[in-house]
Structure 1
Amino acid sequence: MSTLTFTHVGGPTTLVEVDGWRILTDPTFDAPGRTYAFGWGTSSRKTTGPAVAAADVGDVDAVLLTHDHHADNLDDAGRQLLGGAPTILTTVPGARRLGPPAVGLRPWATTTLTHPDRPTLTVTATPCRHGPVGSRPVAGAVIGFDLSWEGQQHGSLWFSGDTVLYGGVRQVAERRRVGTAVLHLGGVRFPVTGPLRYSMTVDDGRELCRTLKPRTVLPVHYEGWSHFVDRPAALERPELAPDPGRTTWAEPGRPVVVEV
């Protein structure tokens, strides 16, 4: 049985180790306490620091960056870490801002990560909308990532990215066989925009999983920041996967082994 090791560092930041590959997502390693502006009158305070220090992450083969322009997905310490990454996959405008070695992908574009001693990883960018209809010019471009490789038995590994539940995300269930879903939740809201949501809630995640039918669900990005209004629901550790016992609320810093 093929397995991967998943470590939730905190927020959206995860480390995935599989068949010799070490993949880091959305690096956030700043200390807590600071308030960051997100634009258009929105801001959020970081309330929890990373469970793994940037210096302790070690070498990584690639960084999957869902977007570069919000500090809860890429902060100052995370930007420093990018300097040592040989490959960075992100949005097209994000790659322009970051420069080489960042590579920009549009939704449903595919690239590969290769190594002579490891299975080839096929990375497919998936759609995101980081807010309500019409919010993209303000919230900016975001993508998710779907990873597949030879030897997977239950389906691909999918990172949803920061997104609300909408038609583009539902396309993932139609176009990919997802075995492990890493879902960005939190139900983000800001006082200046009232009831509008900018990421999925626990209920959204459960609804998506009814269609997606993943074997394993790993929720992330629901804690550690003041703009997560759905955090109390997340702390109840509800089931999101269709089958009981398939949702793992990984304790930050503690590796979890997942069958893939």
Structure 2
Amino acid sequence: MTGVRLTHIGGPTVLIEFDGWRILTDPTFDPAGRRYAFGWGTSSRKLTGPALAADAVGPIDAVLLSHDHHGDNLDDAGRKLLPSARTVITTESGAARLGGHAVGLTPWSSTRLVRPGLPAIDVSATPCRHGPPLSGPIVGEATGFALAWEGQRHGALWITGDTVLYGGVREVAGRLPVGLALVHLGGVRFPVTGPVRYTMTAREAVELCRAVRPHTVVPVHYEGWQHFRQPPSNARRAFDRAPDVPVRWLDIGAPTDLET
């Protein structure tokens, strides 16, 4: 099989299915309405609930968790789901906090997912910086993921994670052929830090994708939260102005088959 089935559940949460594997990114399943504190005077309200409830997702082989310390990437219901997954892959600091069966990766290190009768998946951590220069001690570690398995036609499945556009994330262009890219948008900002952004805008994602040249770009992490400051309509216009970037917007909650 050369394709995958993606179900965008909302925010950064995507169910990835192929060849018997079921992998979930950044589980967020709390209902809308609650305000979450992110530290250092920042907070945000969840505006939209998930398209699927946690108990409707089904069995999960692995959770790819870009970071564990922000409620828009791992909320209470998502945290309760983690023990039911065979493996949780995240940052080194996140794995230390979560314990149990969590595996921590540093940028460009990797681990292998293996199940009898299924193709092995090599999971590599890709660089992220979840804020401006020197913000690491404040915002904490985050990571992206590249998934490679035998039979991919166009290249790895890459998940950017929550990141701004910077040199580390641009390294992917020189190190990996990418077939399908899940790019985290939102242009995250908070009133207390003014114009500083903590994730990419769509314009920045277009710039990144022109360097990486994936076969298909799937935007996620752009709706459902108060601190996502680039409206989805603006993000769509940015991609509309870049016909050379092969974008595919998923209907939230609807399984969609794509090539890798």
TM range (shorter): over 0.9
Name the SS for the 1:188 alignment partner. Answer: coil
Name the SS for the 1:238 alignment partner. Answer: helix
Name the SS for the 1:247 alignment partner. Answer: coil
Structure-1 residue corresponding to 2:125: 125
Once the two structures are aligned, what percentage of the paired residues are identical? 61
Question: Which amino acid letter does the alignment assign opposite residue 203 of structure 1?
Answer: R
Structure 1 portions without partners, runs of 5+: none
Give me the TM-score of the superposition, normalised by structure 2.
Answer: 0.97
Structure-2 residue corresponding to 1:142: 142
Q: Which runs of 4+ in 1 moved over 2 A?
A: 234-244
Asked if the contact 1:210–1:241 (Cα under 8 Å) also holds between the matched residues in 2, the reply is no
Structure-2 residue corresponding to 1:219: 219
Question: Which amino acid letter does the alignment assign opposite residue 39 of structure 2?
Answer: G
Q: CA deviation at 1:238?
A: 2.7
TM alignment of 1:10-159, pairs within 5 A: 10-159=10-159
Structure-2 residue corresponding to 1:194: 194
Take 2:259 and 2:90, find their aligned partners in 1: how far apart are those partners? 26
Name the SS for the 1:15 alignment partner. Answer: strand
Take 1:237 and 1:163, find their aligned partners in 2: how far apart are those partners? 18
2:8 paired with 1:8: yes
Name the SS for the 2:84 alignment partner. Answer: coil
Name the SS for the 2:52 alignment partner. Answer: coil
TM alignment of 1:223-234, pairs within 5 A: 223-231=223-231, 232-234=233-235
Question: Which amino acid letter does the alignment assign opposite residue 21 of structure 1?
Answer: W
Q: CA deviation at 1:233?
A: 1.1
Residue deviations 1:142-185, cap 9 Å, x none? 00000000000101100000000000000011101011100000
Residue deviations 1:6-54, cap 9 Å, x none? 1100000000001110000000000000000000000000000000111
Q: CA deviation at 1:234?
A: 2.2
Q: CA deviation at 1:239?
A: 4.1
Q: CA deviation at 1:243?
A: 3.5
Asked if the contact 1:215–1:241 (Cα under 8 Å) also holds between the matched residues in 2, the reply is no
The count of residues paired between Structure 1 and Structure 2 equals 259
Question: Which amino acid letter does the alignment assign opposite residue 27 of structure 1?
Answer: P
Structure-2 residue corresponding to 1:238: 239
Take 2:227 and 2:9, find their aligned partners in 1: how far apart are those partners? 19
CA gap of 1:177–1:239, structure 2 versus 1, over 3 A, is: farther
Q: CA deviation at 1:235?
A: 4.9
Asked if the contact 2:203–2:238 (Cα under 8 Å) also holds between the matched residues in 1, the reply is no
Take 1:119 and 1:86, find their aligned partners in 2: how far apart are those partners? 16
Structure-2 residue corresponding to 1:160: 160
Residue deviations 1:202-241, cap 9 Å, x none? 0000000111100100000010000011124125473487
Q: CA RMSD in A?
A: 1.3
Take 1:234 and 1:255, find their aligned partners in 2: how far apart are those partners? 22
Structure 2 portions without partners, runs of 5+: none
Question: Which amino acid letter does the alignment assign opposite residue 198 of structure 1?
Answer: Y
CA gap of 1:200–1:151, structure 2 versus 1, over 3 A, is: same
Give me the TM-score of the superposition, normalised by structure 1.
Answer: 0.97
Structure-2 residue corresponding to 1:252: 252
CA gap of 1:237–1:33, structure 2 versus 1, over 3 A, is: farther
Name the SS for the 2:239 alignment partner. Answer: coil
Take 2:216 and 2:255, find their aligned partners in 1: how far apart are those partners? 15
Q: CA deviation at 1:3?
A: 1.1
